[in-house]
Amino acid sequence: MTDAAENYAGVYDRSVGFGDRPALVLIDFAQAYYDETCPLFAGEGAVIALTAALKLRAAARAAQVPVILTRVALHPSGIDGGRFYEKAAPLEAFLPGRATAEFAEGLVPEADELVVSKQYPSAFFGTSLASTLTAMGCDSVILTGLTTSGCVRASCVDAMSHGFRTLVVREACGDRHAAPHEANLFDMNAKYADVIGMDACLAEFAKPGGGLSVSA
């Protein structure tokens, strides 16, 4: 029995590369994942991911690459969360008025950053994100966020399905356990996106002349 990397070699090993006009997306960095009393608490993985995402955000802004943040925003009854809310009990953390629904400490949206509210795992499902990216002239998305096996993966699949080159920054994603984190990074890299290191992403942002700039 071969290991996963050997088994996939020569089958799922293409790279799509960086697009010309990307957007950086920070997915669901909510206080819920940092509150030890919350069922969604994700521990050290969430802390590492946010630290990396904030560094990428600063570099993206310097390169005039747009930054988009997502958050889960539910009706008080949870009805707009549909079967997702019915299945995943911890989504109560995102009901109105809960401190756990707020952005994580240290992450405050800037006035020029788009905030996308969603009710389902994907940042694209039921939102205007795809249309907005197209209107902005973006051909690619660079994904960060929480959790790797949940909303990051769902957003990754939908980004690819909408025709965007999709990249996922390994260090800037987190999960409550290493096993689903690593398994989903492996699978996304095989089929839907390029999973890259933060240094590679920072290097692209820092290219002379703002090679990734999407400014008007």
What does the alpha-carbon distance between residue 136 and residue 129 come to, in Å, rounded to a whole number?
Answer: 10
Is residue 144 one of the residues assigned to a domain? yes
* Residue span of the structural domain in which 183 resides: 19-205
Q: For 71-96, what is the mean pLDDT?
A: 98
The verdict on residue 102 lying in a domain is yes
- Is residue 177 predicted with pLDDT exceeding 90? yes
**Total structural domains within the chain:** 1
State yes or no: pLDDT of 70 exceeds 50: yes
Task: Assign residue 178 the CATH number of its domain.
Answer: 3.40.50.850
| pLDDT for the residue numbered 149 | 97
Q: What is the pLDDT of residues 106-149, one digit of tens each?
A: 999 999 999 999 999 999 999 999 999 999 999 999 999 999 99
Q: Is residue 4 one of the residues assigned to a domain?
A: no
Q: Residue 7 half-sphere exposure, CB side, CA atoms within 13 Å? A: 6
Average pLDDT over residues 51-64: 97
Alpha-carbon Rg for the chain, nearest whole angstrom, is 17
- Which residues are annotated as catalytic? 151
Domain membership flag for residue 84: yes
112 in a structural domain: yes
**34 lies in a domain?**
yes
d(C-alpha 79, C-alpha 31), whole Å: 22
Residue 5 lies in a domain: no
Residue 3, in any domain of the structure: no
The mean per-residue pLDDT over the stretch 158-167 comes to 98
Question: Sorting pLDDT into bands at 50, 70 and 90, what band is 164?
Answer: very high
How much is the pTM? 0.93
Strand partners for 68? 25, 114
